[in-house]
C-alpha cells in the first residue's frame, strides 16, 4: 500500500505560484515509480474558500486517477468542500468531512478539525464520540488518522495560538486504541514528528514550501523557506506502516541495487556510497 499525503496548497487567485506549485506536486505524484493507492490532502485546499479557488483546486486534482481524500483546514469553506467532496469514504458524520476509508490494508479515518471563523481547530464531543465508535469497531486493523490541525504544542507561540482544542481528549482516545498506528496532519507547514499517546504524530508541510523556524526567537515566527515535501505512507506485511519524507522539488529518479551490488552506470554521486 502506498498513500501519498499532500497538504496546504492554499490555492489563491491572486498568487498563481500556489496553483503552479500544487500542479507540480500532482505531476510528481504521477511520476512516482509505484502508483499510489490514494492521495490525502490535509486541508487548506484554498486560501479564501472561494468558488473560483475550489474550481482551480478540483481542476488541478483531475489528473490523479486514484482516490483523493480531503479534509478541511481553517482557510477552507466547509460547506463548499462538503458540496464537492461530501461523498468521500463511508460512515460520514453528517455536517462534517469526517469519514472512513476501509478498502486498504491500513484503515484511514479523515477528521474534520475545522472551527469556522477561527484559525485554530477543535474536535468537539460529537466528533470525538464518532471517532471512538469507529475505532472500537475495528480494533484489529492498523489505522491512520488524518486531519488538518495537529494535536501538538510546537513551542512557537504564533502557531500554538491557532492549535487544536480537544487534543488531550484525542490523546486519551488514541491511548485506548493502540491500533492507531499513525496520526498525520498539516497546518504548521513544517515537518514535525512526535509521540502521541501510543502512536506517532507527523505533520506534512505545504506543497509550495517547507518552513524551518528560527528557534532562537520562539515568540516570533521567523521562517526559512525550504523545498516542499510530501509524506509517503506505506504498508506491507513485513514492515507494517512506514512513513517516508519525500521531496517534491525535483523529479523522482531511480537507481538499482539488485540485492548484491549497484547496477552498472550508477550516477557518480551514488558510487561514492
From 120, 136, 110, select the one nearest 42 (Cα to Cα). Answer: 110
Nearest approach in angstroms of CB 233 to Fe ion is 20
Nearest approach in angstroms of CB 159 to Fe ion is 11
Residue number with CB closer to Fe ion (8 or 37): 8
Nearest approach in angstroms of CB 226 to Fe ion is 16
Burial classification of residue 139, based on how many CB atoms lie within 10 Å of its CB (0-12 exposed, 13-18 middle, 19 or more buried):
exposed
Nearest approach in angstroms of CB 12 to Fe ion is 11
3-class secondary structure for 81-121? Answer: HHHHHCCCCECCCCCCCCEEECCCCCEEEECCCCCCCCCCE
Q: How many CB atoms lie within 10 A of CB 211?
A: 18
Pairing, β 240-247 against β 229-236: antiparallel
Residue number with CB closer to Fe ion (45 or 88): 45
Looking up cell 471517532 gives 131
Nearest approach in angstroms of CB 231 to Fe ion is 15
> Which cell is 221 given?
515566527
Q: Nearest residue by C-beta to Fe ion? A: 44
- Radius of gyration over every alpha carbon of the chain, rounded to an integer in angstroms: 19
From 189, 187, 116, select the one nearest 149 (Cα to Cα). Answer: 187
Residue number with CB closer to Fe ion (128 or 191): 191
Residue number with CB closer to Fe ion (8 or 77): 8
Residue number with CB closer to Fe ion (36 or 205): 205
Rounded CA-CA distance 177/140 in Å is: 10
Nearest approach in angstroms of CB 131 to Fe ion is 23
Nearest approach in angstroms of CB 187 to Fe ion is 6
Rounded CA-CA distance 35/228 in Å is: 20
Rule CB under 5 A: which residues touch Fe ion?
8, 44
Residue number with CB closer to Fe ion (45 or 181): 45
> Which cell is 244 given?
517516508
Residue number with CB closer to Fe ion (9 or 166): 9
Amino acid at each position: 500500500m502506498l498513500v501519498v499525503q499532500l497538504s496546504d496548497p492554499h490555492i489563491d487567485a491572486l498568487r498563481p505560484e500556489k496553483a503552479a506549485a500544487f500542479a507540480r506536486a500532482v505531476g510528481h505524484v504521477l511520476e512516482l515509480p509505484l502508483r499510489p493507492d490514494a492521495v490525502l490532502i490535509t486541508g487548506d485546499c484554498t486560501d479564501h474558500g472561494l468558488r473560483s479557488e475550489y474550481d482551480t483546486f478540483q481542476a488541478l486534482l483531475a489528473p490523479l486517477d486514484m482516490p483523493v481524500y480531503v479534509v478541511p483546514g481553517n482557510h477552507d469553506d466547509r460547506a463548499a468542500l462538503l458540496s464537492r467532496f461530501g461523498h468521500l469514504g463511508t460512515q460520514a458524520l453528517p455536517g462534517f468531512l469526517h469519514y472512513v476509508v476501509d478498502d486498504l490494508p491500513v484503515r484511514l479515518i479523515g477528521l474534520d478539525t475545522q472551527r469556522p471563523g477561527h484559525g485554530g481547530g477543535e474536535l468537539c464531543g460529537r466528533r470525538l464520540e464518532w471517532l471512538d465508535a469507529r475505532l472500537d469497531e475495528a480494533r484489529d486493523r492498523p489505522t491512520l488518522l488524518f486531519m488538518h490541525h495537529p494535536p501538538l504544542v510546537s513551542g512557537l507561540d504564533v502557531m500554538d495560538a491557532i492549535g487544536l482544542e480537544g487534543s488531550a481528549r484525542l490523546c486519551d482516545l488514541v491511548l485506548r486504541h493502540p491500533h492507531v498506528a499513525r496520526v498525520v496532519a498539516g497546518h504548521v507547514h513544517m515537518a514535525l514528528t512526535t509521540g502521541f499517546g501510543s502512536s506517532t504524530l507527523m505533520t506534512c508541510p505545504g506543497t509550495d514550501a517547507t518552513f524551518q523556524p528560527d528557534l532562537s526567537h520562539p515568540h516570533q515566527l521567523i521562517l526559512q523557506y525550504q523545498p516542499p515535501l510530501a509524506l509517503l505512507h506505506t504498508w506491507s506485511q513485513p514492515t507494517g506502516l512506514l512513513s517516508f519524507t519525500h521531496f517534491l522539488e525535483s523529479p523522482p529518479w531511480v537507481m538499482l541495487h539488485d540485492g548484491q551490488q549497484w547496477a552498472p552506470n550508477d550516477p557518480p554521486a551514488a558510487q561514492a556510497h
